Every structure is written in C-alpha cells, then in structure tokens.
Homo-oligomer: A and B are copies of this chain.
C-alpha cells in the first residue's frame, strides 16, 4: 500500500505542513517551550533578536496548527502563557535534531565554504 501523504507530490497537503513547520522562527519557539510554558516577554527574551511582530505571527501560526496553546490567565497586567500541545511536543524531537545538527556542524560547513571559495 502506498503512503497516504508524500511531500514529493506537488499538491500533497504535507507540503503545506512541511512549509509551516519549516518557517523561520518555528524551531526557535518550539525549542524554547520544550521545558516549560513561557510568557510572551519571556519567549522574546529567550529568542534573542526576534521582534514582537514576528513572534506574534509565529505563535498565531503555531496555535492555528495546534502545536502551541495560548493560555490567557487574565489580570492586570495581562498574564498570557504559551505551552506546547501534545502535537507540538511530538515535533520537539525532530526539530531538536535539526537544531542540534546546525549547532554541532558549524565548523564542517564553514570549512566547506572556504574550500568552495578557494576552488573558485
């Protein structure tokens, strides 16, 4: 029996999903929420360099896809926390593997870049 979904097929919905989870900041947010829920500002501090606008967009997208839950606890000042859903948690391992690959293979990639440049 054939696979139900195949990213190699141009109209397969899995391409949409793959594109979503491959969005620039997804891996950062999911990684940051791995251990515990975080509030908006905590997330922003954790993911250095992200702007409020982009963080908001990323969180909305993840919420839309059911990867992150937004929990509004109300009060003044507002208290909102974000946590991984079970679905989001299931993505943690694959994404962490990619993130770790990036962190551990910087030297090899840089070496390859230099080699390529020297060859012309």
Q: How many copies does the complex hold?
A: 2
Number of interface residues of A (CB under 8 A): 55
A65 touches B113 (CB 8 A): yes
A8 touches B109 (CB 8 A): no
Question: Contact flags (1/0) for A13-32 with B, using CB distance below 8 Å?
Answer: 11101111110100110011
A112 touches B24 (CB 8 A): no
B65 touches A3 (CB 8 A): no
* Set of chain B residues within 8 Å of A48, measured between Cβ atoms: 8-10
B22 touches A103 (CB 8 A): no
Decide yes or no whether A90 CB sits under 8 A from chain B.
Answer: yes
Given the interface pairs A24-B19, A94-B98, the reply to whether A106 lies near B14 with Cβ below 8 Å is yes
